[in-house]
């Protein structure tokens, strides 16, 4: 099993997310990450879906995604050069006597403090999942009060564009 990062361009209509997620549920896939957002084209949304599966299973999912009425384009970025990022907001307990220590740790991870209260602060970190996991583990002893993560967004490097279909079998025109 390996992680597959799938990109699906879909029509921006009600119910599309539910139909796509149901496809994964019916096939008993665990979606590790699912993010959806608008694209540069009005009426088109982009889904980034990360699943843990075999290559054959991922190919079947791509084929089944194409059967969905509102799906325009699908590509598996796995094995392709890509840039992927995740974002997390972490609210951490910050007693006055430990605040400077926490601020130094945040700086080491190139994260930012976006809110400071009397007894807590909110840290924003963007990057690979391992980087975020590392910061979470370092902050855990101080007391994480709340955390939210966006999920992975990914884009092919260079001239790979998800909206252009190629003949190379991966859904991308190079």
Q: Which residues pair with 3 in a beta bridge?
A: 52
Which of helix, strand or coil describes residue 138? helix
User: If you average pLDDT over residues 9-22, what whole number do you get?
Assistant: 92
**What's the angle, vertex CA 44, arms to CA 39 and CA 50, rounded to 5?**
70
* Common-topology check for domains 2-79 and 83-149: yes
Fold of 83-149: Alpha-Beta Plaits (3.30.70)
Q: Where are the domains of the chain?
A: 2-79, 83-149
- pLDDT one-digit tens code per residue, 129-140: 999 999 999 999
d(CA 93, CA 119): 6
User: If you average pLDDT over residues 127-151, what whole number do you get?
Assistant: 96
Superfamily assignment of 2-79 in CATH? Answer: ACT domain (3.30.70.260)
- pLDDT one-digit tens code per residue, 67-84: 888 999 998 888 888 899
d(CA 43, CA 61): 24
Which of helix, strand or coil describes residue 131? helix
């Amino acid at each position: 099993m390996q992680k597959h990062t799938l990109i699906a361009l879909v029509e921006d209509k009600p119910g599309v997310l539910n139909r796509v997620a149901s496809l994964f549920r019916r096939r008993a896939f665990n979606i590790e990450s699912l993010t959806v957002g608008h694209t540069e084209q009005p009426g088109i949304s982009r889904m980034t879906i990360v699943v843990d599966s075999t290559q054959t299973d991922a190919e079947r999912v791509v084929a089944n995604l194409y059967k969905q009425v509102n799906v325009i384009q699908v590509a598996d970025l796995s094995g392709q050069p890509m840039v992927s990022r995740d974002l997390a907001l972490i609210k951490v307990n910050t007693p006055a006597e430990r605040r400077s220590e926490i601020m130094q740790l945040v700086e080491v991870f190139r994260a930012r403090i976006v809110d400071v209260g009397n007894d807590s602060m909110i840290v924003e970190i963007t990057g690979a999942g391992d980087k975020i996991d590392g910061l979470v583990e370092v902050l855990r002893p101080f007391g994480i009060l709340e955390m939210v993560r966006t999920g992975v967004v990914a884009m092919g490097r260079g001239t790979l564009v998800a909206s252009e279909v190629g003949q190379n079998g991966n859904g991308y025109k190079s």
